[in-house]
Amino acid sequence: MRSSRLLPARPTKLGRFDVVAKIASGGMASVYLGRSSDQTREVVALKVMRGDLGERDDLLASMFVDEADLLTRLRHPSIVRTTEVGVDGAQRFIAMELLLGMTLASVYEACERRGTRLEPELVAWVGARLAEGLHYAHELRDDANDPAALIHRDVNPANVFVTFDGTVKLFDFGMAKTMMQTSAKTAPGIVKGKLSYLAPEQIMQLPLDRRADIFGLGTTLWELCAMQRLFHRDSAVETVRAVHAGKIPDVRKVAPQVSARLASVIQKALERNREHRYATADEIARALSEIAAPYAAEAPSRLSALLDDLFPEERKKQRGWLKPAIVPASPASLKVPQSKGPPPSR
């Protein structure tokens, strides 16, 4: 599925940043560790969009910057901080705070390997943090103070980080137009997002609103409680069919330790008819926060301990990324650290 032809060549510099090493490559982009070339040597994560811009793509370049600029306005504890967006030569990049932690997808997989699971209260707490971040993004306004109508479009465990200090961060906001296209190839009908986490209306390519993200959150929470995939099937066709019409079991059937309250919140997020879903992420955030309230004080330390337990080597390894001893790119220093994320095809 990866076509190297579309992958940007590994850059050594992007805007004011030196590219130090590759962190991950996903479907849409490669992510690098970067350092500003000035004295601060600020460390960032640099996401480079796949697909070089052609020589006459000034319009596309400015569209990208306009659209991605919205990301730099997102300032919320549950959302990765984007510091700047830019175009350097043919490459479009986004500079973000470097997150030290693991994706929820990696957490899920590690639990699966060990035959363990997250406590339902912790799932509720993580879900509440995510819903708060989503609501904030959904309410974002543009320069003219008009609603920006930002929708994430791809809420799934691979786009959520839990950090070693016990925070939850949503990242990889999907943008409408420019992220997926180059001048040579626009990709009509491509739906951004992992099939098995899309809302039914996304698969039908209906005009979307914020409620699509609530469905993705519902699927994510269902799976974390159940330690089973909800809609994922062996083929894309079967997965699409499952999103449309597959059974959505009460999560307590598979995970009896989940409370009736939490199960019904998840169920409501997973209503196929969006009119029956939570109308805003704030509503589900409140419902989840209430459930997690008795647990909220200890949740960050629980999360942090869970990561150390599941990934004993990672904290130290990722801390190493912050050491100034890592010098900027000479070809030999561009070693690829082991990818933190799940395989891109998940």
Ligand X SMILES: Nc1ncnc2c1ncn2[C@@H]1O[C@H](COP(=O)(O)OP(=O)(O)O)[C@@H](O)[C@H]1O
258 sits near ligand X (criterion: CB under 6 A)? no
Which of 18, 57, 172, 213 is the binder for Mg ion (CB under 5 A)? 172
Catalytic: 143? no
Of 43, 74, 79, 96, the residue at the interface with ligand X (CB under 6 A) is: 96
Residues 17-36 touching Mg ion, rule: CB under 5 A, are 26
Q: How far is CA 251 from CA 12, 125, 228, in A?
A: 48, 17, 10
- What is the nearest approach in angstroms of Mg ion to the Cβ of residue 59? 26
**For ligand X, which is the closer residue by CB, 80 or 128?**
80
What residues have CB less than 8 Å from 250, skipping those under 6 apart?
Answer: 263, 267
52, 154, 172, 213: which one is catalytic? Answer: 154
Binding part of the chain for ligand X, among 23-31, 128-136, 242-250, 258-266 by CB under 6 A, reads: 23-31
To ligand X, the closest distance from the beta carbon of 325 in angstroms equals: 19
Query: Rounded to an integer, what distance in angstroms lies between the CA atom of residue 60 and that of residue 11?
Result: 20
**Between 159 and 196, whose beta carbon lies closer to ligand X?**
159
Q: Is 47 in the site for ligand X (CB under 6 A)?
A: yes
Q: Is 45 in the site for ligand X (CB under 6 A)?
A: yes
- Share of the chain residues as helix, strand and coil, in percent rounded to the nearest 5: 40, 15, 45
Is residue 121 near Mg ion by the rule CB under 5 A? no
- Among residues 64, 57, 112, 108, the alpha carbon closest in space to that of 85 is found at 64
What is the strand order of the sheet 43-49 is part of? 13-14, 17-25, 29-36, 43-49, 91-97, 82-88
Of 257, 251, 256, the closest CA to residue 220 belongs to 251
Determine the size of the site formed for ligand X (CB under 6 A): 21
Query: In the bound complex, which residue of the shown chain has the CB atom lying closest to Mg ion?
Result: 172
Amino acid at 154: D
Say which amino acid occupies 336: V
Residue 178 binds ligand X (CB under 6 A): no
Nearest to ligand X of 102, 288 (CB atom): 102
Q: Please choose, out of 62-70, 93-101, 198-206, 285-293, the segment that lies near ligand X by the rule CB under 6 A.
A: 93-101
Q: How far apart are CA 43 and CA 239, in angstroms?
A: 39
Cα–Cα nearest to 320, from 43, 12, 19, 25: 43
172 near ligand X, rule: CB under 6 A: yes
Question: Rounded distance, CA 153 to CA 267, Å?
Answer: 19
Q: Which residues are catalytic?
A: 154
What residues make contact with Mg ion under the rule CB under 5 A? 26, 159, 172
What residues make contact with ligand X under the rule CB under 6 A? 23-24, 26-29, 31, 45, 47, 80, 96-99, 103, 158-159, 171-172, 340-341
